[in-house]
Structure 1
């Protein structure tokens, strides 16, 4: 851009910007706190391990929900946006007064102590969470990286005979899921400390893990202490070991302390956590919160500062867009950095100088938009995550597809860490050992583990011999859920494409073999397959993926099965040949060769008609990640304006600033990143150096690359806050006409300026064949899809 023009544009932005200097005020952690969003709404640092929040007995996968259910405790560790069983939530504290000041009148078991909270009292913001229980106890919490700090304010109260009530805080040796296998607790009233550990099960994986805690209570004199089991308690003994219990009888147990109520009613609790030892949990707490009585405000401010710094690369000129739009946007970005959690130094499984991140929950969700988003917003953190994946490969033998709480998570489709690695490679992530990355990816492609339900790929004999995963495959090399033959074939094809990208980039001759395997998706396309709705209505489209037996004959799965118009297909209860999505949805999953897919279905017009039908008939599940790219695949058919129209059909109807403002599980920030990309005006095709161009939902967005310090700008000309003008009429890149519907990662690293002139009708912009995003079958060289 000419210097004069750049300077004028900078002055224009400065004069029209309406966003505040610190956009943290727009973050609302309660978005997605009901209606199945399962977000973590409590206090956390970016990628922090300690995550305190109130736990409820309703929608409690992320701990807290605004569904009006009851609070059962306040615990220190959570995941965000996951599905399935609730994750973590160990060692909840519960504050209460006990009738008559008699300890056996306290409500210790989880169901007995469950108490409504006052909805109007809920206060959630980055680094802080608070609410008030019915009865008047107020709980506030903030966090350091590996410790939580609580302030419990007890109202004044007296017994019937005028005796002042003693505040009591119990600690429960359980988790949200009640998965505890065994646990220990030790109570030290002289030190005001309760410490211990427990063995738990991961919520979506195999094995078990140990968690450790160290709770210190300050600001009030200890009056009584002890242990409790089920609904009884006593001041002797001070230690306890508890097992799971017999059959379905879950033993509930823990420790407690009661206090003389201070004049201000505040009892402060500091809880350190660790996956290594109780001593390390205590050390974490003492190092990070050295003065618990006085550190609350400082911790909260530190959290706000860290979050502000993480959000700072992005600046928005709203152009009059509503506060709800700003709130949804910034909150989506915020959630992309709650997980994975940086557990460097908290991994007891192996010794390493490399970073260790956990709660990749799961890469099947995160590779599509979350990890590409972190690559532009926080490339240093993303590089550390990639290094953690590679270090896990070095010590475990496989790249994880899903990992939480030190355990292997279930594989959902392919080996999608491969896509994360390829995306990092084409976007020049620094600090990565790409030779090691290549070896890890080759391991996925060539070697089958004995148990491929939680690592690697299954069916590799058939994959190499037949060039597809068969329906009812005969696989004696390894074992897993013998299903998902269609979705695994499609994902394996893209995983091998990802490997070919890295292999060619570092000079490996076998890149052609993996590029050939990237075409295996074609072997399951049945050109005469029809599709009918449940009422017998013909959808009018022919040609879909179908399962195929070992002998090459076709099987059958209804193309609408596993869609919102049919029954949800989980991994265990009703496994099918597609995972969590229908054949209709997987029809569009050929990210590297959408041009050839368009030819398979009959050309661009037919492809557009299918996309329209898919999104408008109820077949599309916008609450699950495989749908993401389909919103923008109109670009490949020369109709980028329809991608913009489709994005606006979901935002804000399905993604908005309400407590139920997510259409499905946030999945560790996957939904948040889809929203953020969409509102910025670019969308990645992960594993490729391709961002599809769409008008931002604001007048302008600036993104300063954290490493190169160059600022990329996307600006709408003729922007209107009512979103009538959503179609690009023309574009300029650095002041010169630009006709392509996509751009590469250099846009961010070199700090380019993209100006989009908008109108209220679809135009001819970027509709020519030479302006379409790259696909392999279009004769475009593979290295054009990589970073120059």
Structure 2
């Protein structure tokens, strides 16, 4: 149970109040088993993500590993990411005894498991030292407790520290240069410049300002190459490309040292301003922990309340909410690249993952943040030429498939987000994605076209109406480009641009040109396969995808999975598959155990089903049952995934969290809806329990559950929306979210005939447009 992971809620001897929803959260969820979540301390969307960095010879994507040795505790991390580590900069490391070379042997193992609660982190080192961490938005707080023999106490500040990568893909971060200066009052100001990481970014710089609660007895700076010192002495400043930092030494009878550090991406003086404005020399650890818990309560957790739920229900729900709002990072006022009155959000990793479930949830639970995020995407386009599909350290990259910021903007537009969004500029950004091929950034893993931004395979998409093997990830891109073009259609239609609307609606049907009706698997025919420039199809077993990676035709999913991917055009999928009954059987085969013959396709194998709950392309597939009138099977399959692959343990996610994408899929499952991004449609599933959702501006969605059980009796028996009997298996944003509303469910163990009006969910893709004439081979 999650309760076994929770810190006993005692910090400085004061227990948290029973009404504190943060007490139900375990930041350790997803830290093992490939979830890669960040368990350290942070506030919602905070720049500071202060936590441990460990080394076991494998990539520590968020800094944390359950094994290995501590190499430092740094102020910046991401959460739930893969590919290669990012950040892990501005590090401190406590050490007892004389240090002759701070570049050597400064590692420690843990003696007991780390403990984490919202706003607090505790690590116990085998050097008879404990490390306690707390944070605000732009500053971090360290408390070191030394319990060993009396010898000199040290805190090593290493500005050349980064999270390394061991995968051998050329994605490891590099320390480029930096500087550090220590002052007579014991504080230091430093900077470091770094590059690379998963998004292959060029140089970026961070500034730090640190203060201690007592004056060090000495403060030597060090410079070195590799493990060899070139200078280590009482000089007060150092600059250069060699590794550098400073050692702050305190008397041997010191038992506790506190350090507070502010950061900025603008200047050292701004880092000091950020620090002194958020953590003063009078601020206590308890105050910081309680302030962070309160921020999460006020801004995040209070948005969903459970009037009748058990503690176990609250533990998993609020833990999932926590994981969903760690990143992106709100760097408004800290953008070194341009001055703007617009918000600035960084560390989007990635919209390929997030647009399916996360961004629609951000809109529902955090409408102010969501509008700011949309404005930030558009402002990045204004200043850099393209919106990002992913962005970190002030740099776009990497784009895995389509230009999925288009989907985010379309979803916001059709659901009425206006506010301060400049939709003229927003649509211009979308058109740029759809019409202008980005400059190739020569990514060695996919050298054919840009992985930085935009749509690198546009030449084929515009010339042929499909994407040839000239371009990597051809089939994946074709599906995503079609959805992206549908997004342009939605906004163009809303803006009254009828010519563009017709154009992009037609282009949104081009995924059909990859459909080979002769391709067969498991007694089903018709799958999306690669296609040559002469129109011929490339032979492809739909249960295999080659490497499922950057250079392949299918990215991180099988042909079976991508053949369900045109979420705007499901009616055509049903038609191409042979009609509703065949499509139903096809879905059943997708979820049947034993139909995936290989565990080496690049996908996680879950009972060898074709369904892969560890990866985002399959998020919507259980909901496709709704389009053939079998909402009950959609509920059953999605509830099976939620109950089988999500656990209340540190390994409780089915795969990489992907910046909270996994958590948001589970949260929609708990709410009992599934969003179709870029449309106003939500598919009705079955809520896990009664809940009240604060929609902002005084609006509330009240969901009640009568009868049933969330694990064994979750089928809908009847539903009332806003007091009226509801007979459709879908609803729109206006029905319950625009003004608030009520959903009253009666649940039971078996499927019922509640869905009786026969009106299937809308499938707004282009009607009547057939695929191009085909040549099979």
Same fold, TM exceeding 0.5? yes
| Structure 2 equivalent of residue 67 of structure 1 | 66
Counterpart secondary structure, 1:660: coil
Q: Distance in 2 between matches of 1:684 and 1:254?
A: 49
Match of 1:459 among 457, 460, 465: 457
Where does residue 140 of structure 1 map in the other structure? 132
2:671 to 680, 687, 690: 680
Secondary structure at 2:296 match in 1: helix
Residue 557, structure 1, aligned to residue 548, structure 2? no
Q: Compared with structure 1, are the counterparts of its residues 327 and 399 closer, same or farther at alpha carbon in structure 2 (3 Å cutoff)?
A: same
Query: How big is the shift at 1:751?
Result: 1.9
Matched, 1:271 2:286: no
**Which residue of structure 1 aligns with residue 749 of structure 2?**
760
Q: What's 1:669 paired with?
A: 660
What is the CA–CA distance in structure 2 between the aligned matches of 1:282 and 1:20, rounded to whole Å? 36
Cross-structure match for 2:14: none
Q: Deviations over 1:500-531 (max 9, x none)?
A: 11111111122111111111111110111013
Aligned to 1:570: 549
Change (3 A) 1:340 1:132: same
What is aligned with 1:10?
none
Matched residue, 1:42: 40
Contact 2:74 2:92 in 1 (8 A): yes
Map of 1:39-438 to 2, 5 A cutoff?
Answer: 39-58=37-56, 61-65=60-64, 67-98=66-97, 102-104=98-100, 108-109=103-104, 112-120=105-113, 122-158=114-150, 164-177=151-164, 179-228=173-222, 229=224, 230=227, 232=229, 234-243=232-241, 252-261=243-252, 265-291=255-281, 293-310=282-299, 311-320=301-310, 323-429=311-417, 430-438=419-427
Q: CA deviation at 1:93?
A: 0.7
Shift of 1:444: 1.0
Distance 2:325 2:354 in 1: 12
Q: Does 1:739 align with 2:727?
A: yes
- Give 1:690 shift: 1.1
For residues 201 and 210 of structure 1, the distance between their equivalents in structure 2, rounded to whole angstroms, comes to 6
Deviation per residue, 1:487-511 (Å, 9 max, x gap): 1111111111111111111111221
1:325 positional shift: 3.8
Measured after TM superposition, the shift of residue 92 of structure 1 is 1.5
Corresponding position of 2:684: 693
What residue is the counterpart of 2:493 in the other structure?
504
On the 8 A contact 2:317/2:667 being kept in 1, the answer is yes
Are the equivalent residues in 2 in contact too, given 1:61–1:83 (CA < 8 A)? Answer: no
Report the alpha carbon displacement of residue 777 of structure 1 after superposing the two structures with TM: 5.9
List per-residue Cα deviations over 1:410-459 (Å, max 9, x = no partner): 11111100000011111122321111111111111111122232111123
Find the aligned partners of 1:504 and 1:623 in 2 and give their Cα distance: 35
Paired residue secondary structure (1:258): strand
Cα distance between partner residues in 2 of 1:166 and 1:204: 36
Determine which of 477, 491, 495 is the counterpart of 1:488: 477
- The ranges of structure 1 where at least 4 consecutive aligned residues each deviate by more than 4 angstroms after the TM superposition are 777-780
Is the partner of 1:453 in helix, strand or coil? coil
Q: Distance in 2 between matches of 1:394 and 1:71?
A: 42
CA gap of 1:172–1:433, structure 2 versus 1, over 3 A, is: closer
Using the alignment, how far apart are the partners of 2:751 and 2:125 within structure 1?
53
Task: Say if 1:442 and 1:283 are closer, same or farther in 2 by CA, change over 3 A.
Answer: same
2-side partners of 1:127 and 1:493: how far apart?
Answer: 42
Q: Comparing 310-319 with 85-94, which one deviates more in the overlay?
A: 310-319
Secondary structure of the residue aligned to 1:449 is coil
Cα-to-partner distance string for 1:81-131 (whole Å, 9 max, x where unaligned): 110111100021110112xxx321x6634xx322111334x2212222112
What corresponds to 1:523 in structure 2?
513
CA change 1:632–1:22 in 2 (3 A) is: farther
Match of 1:588 in 2: 564
Structure 2 residue matching 1:663: 3-state secondary structure:
coil
SS at match of 2:239: strand
RMSD of Structure 2 on Structure 1 (CA): 2.1
Conserved? CA contact 2:185–2:215, under 8 Å: no
* Residues paired across the two proteins, number: 712
Match of 1:27 among 16, 25, 28: 25
**Counterpart selection for 1:714 from 679, 690, 703:** 703
2:713 matches 1:725? yes
Secondary structure of the corresponding residue to residue 528 of structure 1:
strand
Deviations 1:640-668 (A, max 9, x none): 11111112212232112100111111111
In structure 2, do the counterparts of structure 1 residues 206 and 179 end up closer, same or farther at CA, with 3 Å as the change threshold?
A: closer
Is the contact between residue 356 and residue 388 of structure 1 (CA under 8 Å) also seen in structure 2? yes
Tell me, yes or no, if the aligned pair for 1:37 and 1:663 is still in contact at 8 Å: yes
Counterpart CA distance in 2 for 1:399 and 1:191 is 45
Q: Secondary structure at the match of 2:217?
A: strand
Describe the SS at the equivalent of 1:502: helix
CA contact (8 A) 1:213 1:282 kept: no
Contact kept? 1:38, 1:60, Cα under 8 Å: no
CA distance in 2, matches of 1:778, 1:569: 29
Q: Distance in 2 between matches of 1:128 and 1:209?
A: 32
Distance 2:747 2:563 in 1: 31
State the 1:28 CA deviation.
1.0
| DSSP-derived class of the 1:312 partner | helix
Q: For structure 1, which runs of at least 5 residues remain unmatched after alignment?
A: 1-18, 159-163, 244-250, 473-481, 532-538, 781-788
Partner Cα separation in structure 2 for residue 369 and residue 384 of structure 1: 18
Q: Could you say what secondary structure the match of 1:554 adopts?
A: coil
Task: Provide the residue aligned with 1:541 in structure 2.
Answer: 524
1:14 aligned partner: none
Q: Which residue of 587, 591, 599 maps to 1:615?
A: 591
| Whole-angstrom distance in 2 between the partners of 1:253 and 1:352 | 34
Cα distance between partner residues in 1 of 2:675 and 2:436: 30
What are the superposed Cα offsets for residues 705-746 of structure 1, whole Å, 9 maximum, x if unpaired? 112x1211222221325x221111221112221011111222
Q: CA deviation at 1:211?
A: 2.8
2:398 is paired with a residue of what secondary structure? coil
SS at match of 2:696: coil
Whether the 8 Å CA contact 1:325–1:656 is kept in 2: the answer is no
> Deviation at 1:341?
0.5
8 Å Cα contact 2:509-2:766 kept in structure 1:
no
Deviation at 1:145, TM superposition (A): 1.1
1:46-95 residue CA offsets vs partner (Å, 9 max, x unmatched): 10001100111146534343522221110000111110111100021110
Q: Distance in 1 between matches of 2:721 and 2:634?
A: 20
Compared CA separation, residues 76 and 319, structure 1 to 2 (3 A): closer
Q: Deviations over 1:271-300 (max 9, x none)?
A: 111222222222211222122x53432222
